[in-house]
Structure 1
Amino acid sequence: MNVSELIAETLKAAGTGPVFGYPGDPSVEFLEGCRKVGVDFVLGRREGTAGLMAEAWGMLSGKPGVALSTLGPGSTNLVNAVANAYLDRTPMIAISGQIDTKRQPTFTHQVVDQHALFAPVSKYVASVAPNCAGQVMRKALRVAAAPRPGPVHLSTPADYVGAEVLDSDITLPPSGTVHHGLTVVGDQSPQHAIRQAKRPLILFGISAMQSDAGPEIVALAEKIGAAIVASPMAKGTVAEDLPLFAGTLDMACNDLMWDFVNGADLVLNIGFDAVELIKPWTVTSQVIHIDCVPNTDQIYAADIEVIGPVKEAVAALTDDLESQSGYDLSDVNTHRADLQQAFDAGRVSGVMNPSDVIRTAQGVVAPDAIVTTDVGSHKLLVGQGWRPSGPRKLLMTNGLSSMGFSLPAAIAAKIYAPETEVICFTGDGGLAMVQSELRLAASMGLGIKVVVFLDQSLNRIELKQMARQFASTGTVIEETDTEKMAQSMACNGIVVETETALAEALGSDTGNVPLVIGARISPRQYEAQF
């Protein structure tokens, strides 16, 4: 067995799924190793988008997504996707080819120090060598999945990838939840603080979603009368039609949501990662931190920390508490009505508005659809307004928040769940960065539907220019013929200007051919919203 075959065999044994990448000279042996052991390879149109596909795979599966690049410009192109996974707390194994070890000390053509390049945005960096290949792969899998999950980066020098393995042990690290006692830090017990609260609020986040702690969160909320607020990447962990659900933090209707959170007299941050905060933490009420890692970020202060498996921690608290009244449901209902009104604020009659696109899509697509959203003004509305049917049904980047995420993520989602409807929301700016991947979707027969918010601008930046009374300099996107662009990529394309036309397009059966829907919207609602 050579090094490449061992890497491929380990990935297959771990069930990491396909490798997404763009190969080069040092990748030839690895591609052959993948072919021989039956690991699929998906050829992205550039390393960065392939890496975003791998990230989305990690979001969906909970296992590391795998990305491949070549050396030099291939590895530098991959950095953004690795950084995205790092701040989105998503497991990933990124592999980059490298020049042979004999020439590394002195050769310069296409040579960068990959360890130095990836170390700031990776949990672990290493080279896979013949005498330690098995050990490195085992560590890479364990580190990527350990709390907080994230990417590892492996370099594969050209003279190693085809070399015979001296360390050929394929032993997978343990997986699943480790059951052990909880650690409580603070001057008082969390149970005492909860019993004293009249208006407790639960803010749950990425770790709660990754721990599948939704049922436990609902049970605790119902027992103590806690209002429930989601972080954007964790949406779907708790059903949003529950009476106690009060919305999503730091998306659209932001001021209203922060006012509601500030109205609580106790906030339980359950698996909440402050990496998702767009606005500074302004809550002055007591906070209890409940997560599998301590509150070392200190972006918010917590007088009490409960550290351990999230599901166990929440269940243990629930068992130790008596029922209490908590929030008056009428207060939550009033807030929800205000939230819906705020979501529609700024609608312009006679044209299609961004909120109309989201509402129309929600009413047409399958209830179990997987939805991806890009970065921009539309993401803030999707993040507040979309109601996913469960966890991992709405994919977004909200840590690094890199534009261009949504289309690669939708491609990965359709490969992961081919029988599930996949809808991609993106802006014309975000699509312009990655639209070549439409050709990949078409060649693979992935019948995704791509809804493009057509406003011909980088709206988030243009709004900031408007606020300062500056001209729209460098923020205007020239209009592209959506239909012709889609056709050039072997996709179907249509431009719609009404909700009826949008509903018909989303409800149409396009089989295995991707459909690009240009939704022509008025950006004036964004002005009122943001």
Structure 2
Amino acid sequence: MNLSEATVRSLQAVGTKTIFGYPGDPSVGFLEACRTEGTEFILARREGTAGLMAEAWGMLTGRPGCVLSTLGPGSTNLANAVANAYLDRVPMVAISGQIDTGRVATFTHQVVDQRALFTPISKWAADLTPNAADPVLRRALRLAMAPRPGPVHLSMHADHVTAEVAGDVVPPPLTPFHHTSVTHSGTAPEAMIARAKRPMILFGISAMQEAAGDEIVALAERIGAAIVAAPMAKGTVAEDHSLFAGTLDMACQALMWDLMQSADLVICAGFDPVELIKPWSVKAPVLHIDQVPNTDQVYAAEAEVVGPIAPALAWLTDAASAAAGWPLAEIASHRDHLAAAFDDGRVSGTLNPSDVIRVARDVLPADTIASVDVGSHKLLVGQGWRPSAPRRFLMTNGLSSMGFSLPAGITAKHLHRDAPVVAFTGDGGLAMVQGELRLAASLKLGLKVLVFVDNSLNRIELKQMAKQVPSTGTIIEETAIEPLAASMGCNGIMAETESQLAEALAVDPGDTPLVIGARIDPAQYAAQF
């Protein structure tokens, strides 16, 4: 068994049977190992988008996504996607080729220090060598999955790719360890809950990754807690539940922070402060529940429960006395105000950003998997879209790298061929990755790519408007959706009105990607943000 075969088999053993990438000279032996071992290799159009596809794989499956790049410019192009997975808390194994060991110390052409490059943006960066394949692969996979999950980066030297490994390679067990007890420090959590009259549960990425939705709802119903979602965890709790109050730090954020301020206890259940856009300003005491202690200290926690989240919540539910808690009428009123505020700034007679989301929500099936890019539209989608289950809403809200949505949508449709998939993106984000439309077409992926067309980098333009300076460097040329789609082997439709958009979204794409351009009036963004 050579090093590439050992690596491919280890990844297969943990459920990773597809690798995304863009190969180079050192990758030839690795590609052959993929072929002979039965692992699918998907050739993206650049390393960065391949990495975002691998990140989406990790989001959708909970297992490490894998991406391959070559040395030098391949690895530097990959760095953004690795950093994205790092701050989004997504398991990933990134592998880059490297020059042979006999020249690495002195040769300079296309050589960068990959360990130095990836160490600050990954959980671990190491060389993968034939004489240490077993411990390196075991550690890489275990670290990628351990709380908080994230990427590891492995460099594979050209003279090691097909070298025989020493000994056996045994992947580590990646099933969660179930503890029978939890620990806390500070005030007893039961006492904090008992004295709360307006408790709130703010759940986040880790709660979604542990599928703790039922336990969140059970505790909320027992103590009368309002439930608030962090954006990347949407779908963990059904948003039509009477206690669900909205999503934090997306559109209508002033209303959400006002609600947070009116709580007298905030239970942070698997909430990761990496998703905060506004500074934490809540004065109520915080009960921190997570697999990791509150070392971020973005908020001060009066008590910490460290351990698996779902059992911890179940323990607290059993320990807590039933209480009325937050008045349901007040939560219902807040939701009404939230729905009204979602349309703030709407301009009559034109297609508004909030109209696009509402039409998509009305037309697309409830079980649609949605990905969303970065930009002004993300804040509205993050509040207005209602995923039907966990891992059916893909968003980057850690590093928040533009260009995420299309690669993520490609992975979602490739993994779930029978599921409807929509990728929300802006014209700026699409411009960064539009070459991947050709990949989607070649893979016969009938996803829908819904483009907010406003010819602007709106988030930055809004800041220029706030400073009363002209739009400089933030205006982009018109995106010709239909010819662009056709050139990539896709179908394209432009929509100027709600009815045109509804008709476009109702089209069955078959096995050909459908790119829908929604020409919006961006004036609503100024009122919203």
Corresponding residue for 1:274?
273
* 8 Å CA contact 1:100, 1:157 repeated in 2: yes
CA contact (8 A) 1:182 1:306 kept: no
Task: List alignment gaps of at least 5 residues for structure 2.
Answer: none
SS across alignment from 1:472: coil
What is the CA–CA distance in structure 2 between the aligned matches of 1:321 and 1:130, rounded to whole Å?
54
What is the rounded CA distance, in whole Å, between the counterparts of 1:417 and 1:63 in structure 2?
A: 15
Amino acid corresponding to residue 437 of structure 2 in structure 1: L
Residue 182 of structure 1 deviates from its aligned partner by: 3.8
Aligned 1:342-353 pairs, distance under 5 A: 342-353=341-352
The offset of 1:181, in angstroms, is 4.0
Is the 8 Å Cα contact of residues 453 and 479 (structure 2) preserved in structure 1?
Answer: no
The separation in 2 between residues aligned to 1:85 and 1:383, in whole angstroms, is 19
Please show how residues 430-445 of structure 1 align to structure 2 within 5 Å: 430-445=429-444
Shift of 1:300: 0.6
Secondary structure in structure 1 of the residue aligned to 2:186: coil
The answer (yes or no) to whether the contact 2:133–2:169 under 8 Å persists in 1 is no
Match of 2:452 in 1: 453
Per-residue Cα deviation, 1:314-340 (whole angstroms, up to 9, x for no partner):
000001111001000011011001100
Q: Which residue of 1 aligns with 2:93?
A: 93
**How many pairs does the alignment contain?**
529
Alpha carbons 2:242, 2:328 under 8 Å: kept? yes
Q: For the residues of structure 2 that align with 1:105 and 1:173, how far apart are their CA atoms?
A: 33
CA distance in 2, matches of 1:137, 1:366: 41
Return the letter of the residue paired with 1:506. L
Aligned-pair CA distance for 1:505: 0.9
For 1:81 and 1:63, how far apart are their aligned partners in 2?
A: 17
Residue equivalent to 2:402: 403
Alignment of 1:7-22 (within 5 A): 7-22=7-22
Give the C-alpha shift of residue 124 in structure 1.
Answer: 1.0
Aligned counterpart, 1:205: 204
Query: Quick one: distance in 1 between partners of 2:166 and 2:183?
Result: 45
SS in 2 for 1:85: helix
Aligned amino acid, residue 465 of structure 2: M
- Per-residue deviation, 1:98: 0.1
Q: 1:391-411 CA deviation, whole Å, 9 max, x = no partner?
A: 011100000000000000000
SS in structure 2 of the partner of residue 75 of structure 1: helix
Q: CA RMSD in A?
A: 0.7
Mapped partners of 1:173, 1:489: distance in 2? 42
The answer for the alignment partner of 1:127 in structure 2 is 127
Alpha-carbon distance between aligned partners in 1 of 2:420 and 2:277, rounded to the nearest angstrom: 30
Q: What is the DSSP-based 3-state SS (H/G/I as helix, E as strand, rest coil) of the residue aligned with 2:450?
A: strand
> Residue 235 of structure 1 aligns with which residue?
234
* Cα-to-partner distance string for 1:126-147 (whole Å, 9 max, x where unaligned): 1111111122111111100000
Tell whether 2:332 aligns with 1:339.
no
How many Å apart are 1:504 and its aligned residue?
1.0
- Secondary structure (helix, strand or coil) at the match of 1:177 reads coil
The answer to whether the Cα contact below 8 Å between 1:56 and 1:409 also exists between their aligned partners in 2 is yes
Partner of 1:4: 4
Q: For residue 387 of structure 1, what is the amino acid of its counterpart?
A: R
Q: Per-residue deviation at 1:178?
A: 1.2
Deviations, residues 80-124 of structure 1 (Å, cap 9, x unaligned): 000000000000000000000010110000000000000001101
Partner secondary structure for residue 283 of structure 1 = coil
Structure 2 counterpart of 1:37: 37
Comparing 268-277 with 506-515, which one deviates more in the overlay? 506-515
Contact 1:181-1:308 at 8 Å conserved across structures: no
Task: Provide the rounded CA distance (Å) in 2 between the counterparts of 1:254 and 1:321.
Answer: 31
- Per the alignment, residue 371 of structure 1 pairs with 370
Displacement of 1:214 = 0.0
Q: CA contact under 8 A between 1:184 and 1:304: conserved in structure 2?
A: no
Provide the residue aligned with 2:512 in structure 1.
Answer: 513
The answer for the alignment partner of 1:295 in structure 2 is 294
Structure 1: any 5+ residue segments left out of the alignment? none
Aligned partner letter, 2:97: G
Distance 1:404 1:194 in 2: 42
Offset of residue 187 of structure 1: 2.9
TM-score by length of 1: 0.99
Q: Quick check: 1:160 aligned with 2:177? A: no
Is the contact made by 2:200 and 2:226 (CA closer than 8 Å) also made in structure 1? yes
Contact in 2 for aligned 1:182/1:307 (Cα 8 Å): no
Shift of 1:172: 2.0
Kept after mapping to 1: 8 A contact 2:410/2:445: yes
1:418 maps to which residue?
A: 417
Query: Which stretch shows the higher mean deviation, 71-80 or 177-186?
Result: 177-186
1:166 positional shift: 1.2
CA offsets 1:146-183 (integer angstroms, 9 cap, x no match) = 0000000000000000111113x232211222122444
Name the SS for the 1:186 alignment partner.
strand
Q: Give the alignment's TM-score, normalised by structure 2.
A: 0.99
Q: Is the 8 A contact 1:250 1:277 kept in 2?
A: yes
Partner Cα separation in structure 2 for residue 455 and residue 439 of structure 1: 23
CA distance in 2, matches of 1:187, 1:67: 43
